[in-house]
Structure 1
Amino acid sequence: MKIGILGGTFDPIHFGHIRPALAVLAQLNLDKIWLMPNHIPPHKTGTHTTTQQRMEMVELVAQQYPQLALCDIEAQRSTPSYSAETLAQLAKQYPQHTFVFIMGTDSFVNLDKWYQWQSLFDHCHIAVCERQGWQLSADSIMAKELKQRQILAEQLQHQHNGGIIIANVDKQPYSSTWVREKLAKNQSITQAVPADVIDYIKLHHLYQSA
């Protein structure tokens, strides 16, 4: 199977995560996308909800969209989540799968600053979702990687790892910060968040201002 991996804090999960994931799945002809909440994000100071709550919100989305599934591999860790270690673990655990690690251009341009970033290509392909306002400078390390490694979606059938694929996704106006700010002001988020997740947020009184 060809499995897309989309990681994040998902605090909370919203259509800015879901719609690009579904677009990448369709464009690259993937079998499934695993949504992977992290427990201790290495680049953020913390989360606004518990790991269990974030996983439960992702699971609600996975129940609504059969193309998506919860992957709890990082959430079960007691240490910061480094993508290189996670993908190595997944590749070892599921050698029959071809993994495609999904990220935005904003992450890709800085990928060379990630922990053991080059080892990612030993375990997966990378799909880069183009984002407005972010561009690779021609002489950057990642521009050179892209030139050497870029492949087309159909090549996923024959190549197990090491490629970079550019995916075109519609820009989404939503972020988790935007959702939290709306909730703190008691404003509607129905256009940004699935109804089941909104019900969960209300039930557990999440993201409310003091």
Structure 2
Amino acid sequence: MTPTPRLLSDPAAADRLPIALFGTSADPPTHGHRALLEGLLQLYPRVATWASDNPLKQHKAPLELRMALLGALVEAIGDPRLSLEQSLSSPWTMETLARARQRWPQCQPVFVIGSDLAAQVPRWRGAAQWLPGCRLAIAPRQGWLLQEEELRRLRQLGAGIEILRLQIPATASSGVRAAPAPEQVPAELHPLLRRHDPYGLLSPGCASPSPSSMP
């Protein structure tokens, strides 16, 4: 059962249109990223995404390439309500939310994470300060079941939680990096990867699948 979101500390927030904020390493973007972005467009009137530079991760590709790949995916989806907003990128969520509120003062930010991050959020910088004024949307990922204790801890910190009923393919950037699998990466990204491919996805030993074989 989807938990009922808590009331936010700002009463006027209920009158503002929500904007889904989804930062991702995009290292590289996969069909899972595409499914999540398209799913968010079914749930929210506007979606903003960006390539993040997570201080807790070691990235395979430089930020500039990951940003370009994510931008190519946004362009391929082709919905004017979805935009690449790289200026939101920050190692700290509280800064991202502050930038989003400044960028769209008429909107209510909805910060989107995967279920694999639910246990980590309470340890993020300033979580007790920014969670009470934030709608936190959690997208279930296969292999990462949400635990009631994780949700309880988030609610204790003031988070208004929305569990998204989306079907996301079992693809992960980490898996693609570990074992190159071009079929897991949207075909629209292949032209860029042919010029810059730190993942070895389109090397001779890892040929790109034909369009007919794409899921």
Q: Please give the range of the TM-score, normalised by the shorter of the 2 chains.
A: 0.7 to 0.9
**1:13 equivalent in structure 2:** 29
**1:143 equivalent in structure 2:** 152
Distance in 2, Cα, partners of 1:133 & 1:182: 21
Inter-CA distance 179–198: structure 2 relative to 1 (3 Å threshold): farther
Deviation at 1:112, TM superposition (A): 1.0
Inter-CA distance 23–115: structure 2 relative to 1 (3 Å threshold): same
TM, length-normalised to structure 2: 0.74
* Preserved contact between residue 35 and residue 71 of structure 1 (Cα < 8 Å): yes
**2:174 equivalent in structure 1:** 177
* Preserved contact between residue 14 and residue 174 of structure 1 (Cα < 8 Å): yes
Q: Equivalent residues in 2 for 1:123-202 (5 A)?
A: 123-131=133-141, 132-138=143-149, 142-146=151-155, 163-183=160-180, 188-190=181-183, 192-202=184-194
Deviation at 1:130, TM superposition (A): 2.4
* Preserved contact between residue 115 and residue 144 of structure 2 (Cα < 8 Å): no
Inter-CA distance 198–125: structure 2 relative to 1 (3 Å threshold): same
TM, length-normalised to structure 1: 0.75
* Preserved contact between residue 88 and residue 123 of structure 1 (Cα < 8 Å): no
Deviation at 1:35, TM superposition (A): 1.4
Deviation at 1:145, TM superposition (A): 4.0
Deviation at 1:42, TM superposition (A): 1.8
Distance in 1, Cα, partners of 2:67 & 2:168: 25
Among 3, 15, 23, the alignment partner of 2:39 is 23
Inter-CA distance 145–176: structure 2 relative to 1 (3 Å threshold): closer
Give the match's secondary structure for 2:50: strand
Aligned length: 183
**Which runs of no fewer than 5 residues in structure 1 stay unpaired?**
150-161
**2:50 equivalent in structure 1:** 36
Deviation at 1:148, TM superposition (A): 9.2
Deviation at 1:144, TM superposition (A): 5.0
Moved more, 127-136 or 89-98: 127-136
Distance in 1, Cα, partners of 2:129 & 2:28: 30
- Provide, for residues 158-194 of structure 1, a one-character-per-residue CA deviation record: whole Å limited to 9, x for no partner: xxxx6221112224221112222343xxxx523x211
**Which runs of no fewer than 5 residues in structure 2 stay unpaired?**
1-16, 204-215
Inter-CA distance 171–147: structure 2 relative to 1 (3 Å threshold): farther
**2:121 equivalent in structure 1:** 111
2:19 matched to 1:3?
Answer: yes
* Preserved contact between residue 34 and residue 71 of structure 1 (Cα < 8 Å): yes
* Preserved contact between residue 2 and residue 97 of structure 1 (Cα < 8 Å): yes
Taking only aligned residues, the RMSD between alpha carbons, in angstroms, comes to 2.6
